[in-house]
Copies of this chain bind each other. A is one copy, B any other.
Amino acid sequence: MNGPEIDTLVRLLSKLPGLGPRSARRAALQLLKKKEATLLPLIDALSAAAEAIKTCQTCGNLDTRDPCSVCADDKRDRQLVCVVEDVADLWAIERTAGFKGVYHVLGGTLSALDGRGPQDLNLATLVERCAGGRVREVVLALNATVEGQTTAHYVADRLSSSGAEITRLAHGVPVGGELDYLDDGTLVAALRARRAV
């Protein structure tokens, strides 16, 4: 019923995570109604980001510079490498400001079902980074899913000869979590990893 330009816009917006067809139409309408205030600035921001975005050749982070701001930061401990599946995980850990090492983004997990093997991951550069004792500790911060843990085992195996200590995130009760609502696996893991007060 509207021009093809509007239909195309709604279709592309509806592919964004968190937006369905209905909210994409609402979003498109808001953009079109406030063209000067929202639509044109968004075009500028998208264009600027498209222009500026780079993949860090060292760690795989997305940033406006290469090496990325984490890899370029002199205050970071380069002997401490945190391995994550995705850039989103890297950003999540960065937001906590609780990690002072550097990262390595695998770009996914191993998955026999989806046909993703080691050659599909950003793994060779990790092995190279860790070779020759240049890295003291590798933290495997992969998702606590079957695929994430399979990948963690594989990565640990590949790095076994590097001389780096391989660690993983602790399992346990989430901060603010109620025991009653926790799954059994997490409860058992939290019990096993109990610590002196």
With contacts A2-B64, A23-B17 known, is A47 near B53, CB below 8 A? no
- Closest residue of chain B to A34, judged by CB? B15
| Interchain CB contact under 8 A, B18 and A41 | no
Please report the C-alpha to C-alpha distance between residue A74 and residue B175 in the assembled complex, in whole angstroms. Answer: 64
Q: Is A144 an interface residue (CB 8 A)?
A: no
- Closest residue of chain B to A2, judged by CB? B63
| Interchain CB contact under 8 A, B2 and A45 | no
Q: Is A153 an interface residue (CB 8 A)?
A: no
Q: Is A46 an interface residue (CB 8 A)?
A: yes
Please report the C-alpha to C-alpha distance between residue A115 and residue B52 in the assembled complex, in whole angstroms. Answer: 43
- Count, chain A residues at interface, CB 8 A: 52
The number of times this chain is found in the oligomer is 2
Nearest CB in chain B: distance from A91 CB, A: 7
Interface residue from B26, B28, B31, B53 paired with A5 (Cβ < 8 Å): B53
Q: Is A33 an interface residue (CB 8 A)?
A: yes
Nearest CB in chain B: distance from A149 CB, A: 23
Q: Is A146 an interface residue (CB 8 A)?
A: no
Q: Is A111 an interface residue (CB 8 A)?
A: no
Nearest CB in chain B: distance from A188 CB, A: 30
Q: Is A167 an interface residue (CB 8 A)?
A: no
